[in-house]
Amino acid sequence: MSLIKCVKIPEELVKIGGIFRKNGFKAYLVGGAVRDMILGKKGHDYDLATNATPKQVMGIFKKVIPTGIAHGTVTIHIFGMQIETTTFRTEADYTDGRHPDSIKFATTIEEDLSRRDFTMNAIAADLESGELTDPFDGQKDIRNKIIRTVGEPQERFAEDGLRPVRAVRFSGQLGFSIEEKTLAALSEPEVLKKTASISVERFRDEFCKMLLCERPSDSLKLLEKTGILNIFIPEFAICRNCSQKDSRGFHEFDVADHILYACDGAQKGNLEVKLAAFYHDIGKPECRTTEIVDGEERVHFHGHETKSAQKALASMTALKFPNETIKNVVHLVQEHMFYYEHSWSDAAVRRFIIRVKPENIENLFALRLADIYGMHRTPLKEGSPAWNILLEFRKRIESVLEKKSALGIKDLAVNGRDLIQEGIPSGKAMGMILNELFETVTESPAMNEKEKLLALAKNIFREKFRT
Ligand code: ATP
Ligand code: MG
C-alpha cells in the first residue's frame, strides 16, 4: 500500500492559503474534503482549520459570516464559494449543551486534529503545498477502509454522543468497516446513554443521510444491532423476527429485513420515498393474523397500512421532521396497498387519483417498486405480469390526467357564486350540492358543463331542500 505525502489543492484554495500566510496565519484543509481527495473522489464542500481567531479571519477577508461563533466557526464567502473556517480547537462541542461556553483555542494543527472523531477525519492538508499532517495514520485507515476513533473509543464516544451515530453513518456512506474496539464501544451502556442525550434533530439528520446512502440497509442494520435505532425509533424493534412467510411465497424476510431492503430499493435520492419505505410496514406486527387454508397456514396483516401510517406520524413527529415531509410520507404509507384491475372504469381511476392526489402518484409508484424490491431483494422484472399491470395502471392514470377531468370541486364548471345566482343559499345545502355535482362529474366527465350542472343543482335543491 503506498501512502501519499501531498494532495492536489484546488487553485482558489491555494490563493486563500496565501492570504492567510501574508497576514501571518496558517490554514489547512480538513475533514471530508481531505478524506475524499485521498479516496480519489471529488465534490465535497471545504472545511478549513486555522490558527487565526474568528475575529482575525473577519479582519482578513471581505465577506465573512459568523455562522457558528460559539464553536469558533465563521464562513468565508470568496470566489463564489462558502468556506467554513474553524479556529484550532482543543476539544469538541458538548452536545448535551452543559458547557456551551467552554470553547478553548489550540495553537497547533496537531492539537486540533487530536480532538476530531475518527482517524480518517483527523488529517490536515496544507492549503498551499497540499502536504498532509496525519498524526493518527488516518490515511492508512482510509486505504484499508476502516473507521477508528482517535484515541480510546469508549472515551471519545462518551464525550460526544453524536460520534457513534456518525460512525454508523460513515460506514454505510463510505462502505467502510468499523474497527473492532470502536465497534464494540458503540453498544457499551455508558456510550448508549450518551448517544440517547443528543438532540432528536441531530439523530434525524444522520438517519436521513443513512437513508440516502447507496445501500441504506447496511448502516440501518448496524444502527439496529448497536441499539441506537431502538433509542430513537423504538417502533422498529417488534418488526424483527415478525415472520411473514407462508405457502404463497410472497415474502422471504421478516418484517424488519423487508423494510430495510425496501429502503435499498427505494428511488435513489428521493428522501420522502426512502422514509415511506422505512415506515410502510412498521405497523405490521400489531396487525398479524393467521388462518388455515387447505391445511396450510396463511399470514395476514389486515389494516396494517393505517397502523403503519399512525406509527409513521408518531415517530416522525417525535423526530421533528418538517410538517410537509410528515404529511407526504404518512399519506404514502397510508396508500401503499393500492391495487388496480384491468376491469376498472375510468371513473374508478379518477376516484383513485382524487384520493391519492396527482402530485403523489409518482412517489406512490416508486414506493410500490421499493416494496416489491424488499420482498426478495430483486427489482421488479420488466415484462412480468406485475410489471405489466402497474404499467397499464400508470398509462390509464396518465390518460385520465391528460383529459383534464375535474379532480376537485374547484375544477367544476360552476362555483358557489353561480349557484347563489340560481337562488341556492350559501351554507350547508350549497356544500352538499357541490359535492353531489362533483360526484356526478367524476362518474361522467361530460356533465362538467355550466348549463348541465346548473340544471342539476336546481333539481337537487328542489328535491332535497325545498318542502
Ligand atoms: P461530511 O461532510 O461528508 O458529513 P465530514 O467529515 O466533512 O463529512 P463534518 O460534519 O462536515 O464531517 O465535519 C468536519 C470535520 O469536523 C470532520 O471531518 C471531523 O474532523 C470534525 N468533526 C465533526 N463532527 C465531529 C464530532 N462530533 N466530534 C469530533 N470531530 C468532529
Ligand atoms: Mg464536511
The DSSP string of 56-82 is: HHHHHSSSEEEEEGGGTEEEEEETTEE
Residue of minimum CA distance from atom 16 in ligand 1:
31
Residue 396 lies in a domain: no
Residue of minimum CA distance from atom 14 in ligand 1:
31
pLDDT for res 352: 95
Tell me the ligand closest to 36's alpha carbon.
1
pLDDT for res 5: 95
pLDDT for res 249: 77
Coil, strand or helix at 142: helix
- Residue 82: phi, psi to the nearest 5? -120, 120
Number of domains forming the structure of the chain: 4
pLDDT for res 100: 47
Residue 401 lies in a domain: no
Q: What are the CA-CA distances from residue 370 to residues 203, 279, 336, 365, 379 (Å)?
A: 24, 12, 11, 9, 8
Report the atom number in ligand 1 closest to the C-alpha of 173.
Answer: 3
Is residue 416 located within the same domain as residue 384? no
Residue 421 lies in a domain: yes
- Its domain, for residue 416, covers 409-464
- For ligand 1, whether the C-beta of 167 sits within 6 Å is no
Q: Measure 48 CA to ligand 1 centroid, in angstroms.
A: 11
- For ligand 1, whether the C-beta of 138 sits within 6 Å is no
Coil, strand or helix at 242: coil
Residue of minimum CA distance from atom 2 in ligand 1:
32
- For ligand 1, whether the C-beta of 121 sits within 6 Å is yes
d(CA 211, CA 368): 17
Is residue 119 located within the same domain as residue 49? yes
pLDDT for res 251: 83
The DSSP string of 371-429 is: HHHHHHTSPPPTTSHHHHHHHHHHHHHHHHHHTT---SGGGSS--HHHHHHTTPPTTHH
Q: Measure 46 CA to ligand 2 centroid, in angstroms.
A: 7
Contact at 8 Å (CB) between 285 and 302?
Answer: no
Is residue 173 located within the same domain as residue 243? no
Coil, strand or helix at 332: helix
Contact at 8 Å (CB) between 56 and 19?
Answer: no
Is residue 133 located within the same domain as residue 211? no
Residue 4 lies in a domain: no
Contact at 8 Å (CB) between 95 and 161?
Answer: yes
Report the atom number in ligand 1 closest to the C-alpha of 159.
Answer: 28
Is residue 290 located within the same domain as residue 375? yes
Single pTM value for the model: 0.92
Is residue 79 located within the same domain as residue 105? yes
Residue 100 lies in a domain: yes
**Pairing outcome for strands 27-30 and 47-50:** antiparallel
Contact at 8 Å (CB) between 201 and 143?
Answer: no
The overall longest dimension of the chain from CA atoms, in Å, is 94
Helix pair 271-279, 323-335: axis angle to 10 deg: 50
Q: Measure 378 CA to ligand 2 centroid, in angstroms.
A: 34
- For ligand 1, whether the C-beta of 258 sits within 6 Å is no
- For ligand 1, whether the C-beta of 117 sits within 6 Å is yes
DSSP-assigned letter for residue 83 = E
Q: Which of the listed residues 205, 232, 259 is the one where a domain comes to its end?
A: 232
Residue 460 lies in a domain: yes
- For ligand 1, whether the C-beta of 164 sits within 6 Å is no
**Pairing outcome for strands 177-178 and 146-147:** parallel
d(CA 50, CA 39): 24
Contact at 8 Å (CB) between 419 and 427?
Answer: no
Q: Which residues of 373-399 are buried (b: 16+ CB within 10 A; e: fewer)?
A: bbbebeebeeeeeeeeebeebeebbee
**Pairing outcome for strands 73-78 and 146-147:** unpaired
Tell me the ligand closest to 160's alpha carbon.
1
Q: Measure 31 CA to ligand 1 centroid, in angstroms.
A: 6
Q: 155 CB contacts (<8 Å, ≥6 apart)?
A: none
- For ligand 1, whether the C-beta of 160 sits within 6 Å is yes
Residue 433 lies in a domain: yes
CA 309 to chain centre: 17
Contact at 8 Å (CB) between 261 and 198?
Answer: no
The CATH number of residue 25's host domain is: 3.30.460.10
Q: Give the pLDDT of the chain (467 residues) as one tens digit per residue.
A: 789 999 999 999 999 999 999 999 999 999 999 999 999 988 788 999 999 999 999 999 999 999 998 889 999 999 999 999 999 998 755 555 455 456 788 999 999 999 999 999 999 999 999 999 999 999 999 999 999 999 999 999 999 999 999 999 999 999 999 999 999 999 999 999 999 999 999 999 999 999 999 999 999 999 999 999 999 999 999 999 999 888 887 888 999 999 999 999 999 999 999 999 999 999 999 999 999 988 888 999 999 999 999 999 999 999 999 999 999 999 999 999 999 999 999 889 999 999 999 999 999 999 999 999 999 999 999 999 999 999 999 999 999 888 888 888 999 999 999 999 988 988 888 999 999 999 999 989 899 999 999 999 999 998 888 65
- For ligand 1, whether the C-beta of 151 sits within 6 Å is no
- For ligand 1, whether the C-beta of 119 sits within 6 Å is no
Going by C-alpha positions, the residue among 250, 281, 275, 251 that lies closest to residue 263 is 275
pLDDT for res 96: 52
- Residue 456: phi, psi to the nearest 5? -65, -40
Is residue 92 located within the same domain as residue 115? yes
Is residue 262 located within the same domain as residue 383? yes
Place of cell 336546481: 458
Is residue 180 located within the same domain as residue 265? no
Residue 350 lies in a domain: yes
